[in-house]
Amino acid sequence: MQQLIECVPNFSEGCDMNIIRQITNEIESVDGVLLLNVDPGKATNRTVVTFVGPPAAAIEAAFLAIKKASELIDMSKHKGEHPRMGATDVCPLIPIAGITMEETAEYSRKLARRVGEQLDIPVYLYEAAAIIEGRNNLSEIRAGEYEGFFKKIHQPQWKPDFGPVEMNVKAGATVIGARDFLIAYNVNLNTTSVRRANSIAFDVRERGRVKREGDPITGKIVKDENGNQVYTPGTLKSVKAIGWFIEEYGVAQISMNLTNINVTPVHIAFDEVCKRAEARGIRVTGSELVGLLPLQCLLDAGKYFLEKQQRSTGVSEAELIKIAVKSMGLDELGPFEPEKRVIEYLLKDEQSEKLVGMSLKAFADETASESPAPGGGSISAYVGALGIALAGMVANLSSHKRGWDNRWKEFSDVAERAESYKKRLMFLVDEDTRAFNRIMDAFGLPKGNDEEKMARKNAISEATRLAIETPLEVMKLSLESMQVIADMAEKGNPNSVSDAGVGALCARTAVLGAGLNVKINCAGYENSDFVNKSLTKADSMIADANRIEKEIMAIVESKITATA
């Protein structure tokens, strides 16, 4: 697996797009680096940039961006709502694929050393990259901000990890480190009061609020035996939060950093703020995400809010995202475009979904063209997807049927199973065509000498094996989906029993159709043991599909007759 690091530098400029563009141009100048997102904020006068790349390329891009920011941004003139200490305020590296946190931390230390030594910027390491105890927390390092650092930097405990022990007047100081995936998330309130917003923030953030004797506002601050302030923890783990007023929108917000979304996901943070705000007579009107987030965050949120409504969660990915966006008001302050905010969508290769991304007409036209792909294998996968999609429809209709309210979860679970089968079969529509194209590519390899002939033979063999395994998976999934279809024919909304019947016909067609692909591809494969096993599996699945289809159609016919 290729090693990938995500870098999310925060630059102290959110208004001048020319400056922001010059910084991002530096990032895009590095080969192998993909700029994913640029998210400027006028009120905070801050831009969060997200890019991803192999480790060496990522830290090169980060260095060039930090250098350019130090040249273009004058911190002595900077004003903004967000706490900040430098032109590049913070630059975290995040392990994405094929790399450990410790390896990522080491890369961040290399970057920090280079920034300190070559750019004369004081640099502090934080989170997993920290080498001095007590410097894990960004907010504690940044306390005092740019203005306070001219004195703070001379305190022995705040000597920079790299760079001069003197504040850089123009560029300020920078924090560099390695951390887990963090989501910056703001919740909008129907108030302009920062004090009340802070009260809600203290209610929910893990650190909580300062503990006082007697009156929680005016009482004496409680300290421990070492003289440190004692805090009463908030309700949400792995959450940092403050309240602030955003003049651009005319409302106060709870600004949160969700530092471990496995502990406190976005939807739980949103719901908890709603509860705490309501207890103080304040209403949440919406929220906003800063930067990017993983797809699973929105899918989990969509399912969470559907379950609260006792509605089926077995709906499409797009529908789950829509529910998440509307439930949390992510589009209140501006359009929320998933294709620009979800990491997986930004990294997606459009060619990987060439067929399933087509319209029905375009797909039919492409199938009918003189090109040999898509062929029977892709069509079988698509027919199988349609079959289980019908079962999902019956499950969802049953979940919402009047009088069946106590069974919504039962049908929701079935709909989720149907959706998982549908999603995989849709992937196999393109995968079958890719398998065919690999065979064609292998046959096109040179064969001028013995070495080339052997390489070509091996490539053909590997591609042919894949071309057998892919339709075998289509058969397996379509056959398994018939059990779901049978369940819906038997237990689902009787008004939709004919749809379950059509689903069964589609699923059987998918099994038999993919079986033909297995057989024709086995004819050109030299591994007789693999061929025999594959053909035996295919014949067994065909027999099972024929049997189950008859059973389902008997149920369907009996129910239609009874209704008539």
- Residue 125, token pair as written in the block: 């390491």
Check: CB of residue 502 under 8 Å from CB of residue 391: no
Known catalytic residues are: 82, 432
pLDDT band at 562 (very low <50, low <70, confident <90, very high): confident
- For the chain, percent of residues with pLDDT exceeding 70: 99
Handedness of CA 151, 154, 156, 162 (dihedral sign): positive
Tell me the average pLDDT across 122-145. 91
User: What whole-number distance in Å separates Cα of residue 539 and Cα of residue 489?
Assistant: 25
Distances (CA, A) of 558 to 388, 401, 491, 564: 21, 21, 13, 10
Q: What is the pLDDT of residue 275?
A: 97
Average pLDDT, the chain: 93
Contact call for residues 341 and 324 (beta carbons, < 8 A):
no
CA distance 481 to 475: 10
Q: Tens digits of per-residue pLDDT, 186-238?
A: 999 999 999 999 999 999 999 999 888 887 777 888 888 888 888 899 999 99
Largest Cα span, the chain? 90
CA dihedral sign, ordered 119, 122, 126, 131: positive
pLDDT of residue 351: 66
Task: Please name each of the domains of the chain with its CATH number.
Answer: 4-178 (3.30.990.10), 183-347 (3.30.70.670), 354-563 (1.20.120.680)
Distance CA 2, CA 15 (A): 36
209, containing H or E segment: strand 209-210
Q: Using 50, 70 and 90 to split pLDDT, how confident is the model at 564?
A: low
State residue 81's pLDDT score: 84
Q: Tell me the β-bridge partners of 47.
A: 11, 40
The per-residue pLDDT for 462 is 94
Write out pLDDT tens, residues 248-303.
Answer: 889 999 999 998 888 999 999 999 999 999 999 999 999 999 888 888 899 999 99
For the whole model, what pTM was predicted? Answer: 0.77
Enter the DSSP assignment of 315.
S
Q: 218-227, 310-319, 444-453, 545-554: which range is least confident on average?
A: 218-227
Is there a contact between 518 and 468 (Cβ–Cβ < 8 Å)?
yes
* Residue 92 DSSP SS3: strand
Tokens of 348: 């997606």
pLDDT of 107 over the 70 cut = yes
In the block, residue with structure tokens 């530098």: 9
Residues ≥6 apart with Cβ < 8 Å to 80: 12, 14, 43, 44, 45, 46
Mean pLDDT of 411-430: 96
Output the pLDDT for position 1.
56
Structure tokens belonging to residue 95: 């392990």
Nearest to 126 by CA among 82, 170, 166, 94: 94
Q: What is the pLDDT of residue 501?
A: 97
- The mean pLDDT of 477-486, rounded to a whole number, is 98
Q: pLDDT: is 563 or 124 the higher one? A: 124
Which residue type is seen at 90?
V
User: Could you tell me how many residues make up the chain?
Assistant: 564
User: Quick one: how far is CA 438 from the chain centroid?
Assistant: 30
Average pLDDT for 159-164: 96
Q: What one-character-per-residue DSSP string does 45-61 give? A: TEEEEEEEE-HHHHHHH
Helix axes 408-443, 376-399, angle to 10 degrees: 170
Backbone φ and ψ of 265, nearest 5° = -75, 170
pLDDT in tens, 425-435: 999 999 999 99
- CA-nearest of 327, 490, 491 to 401 is 491
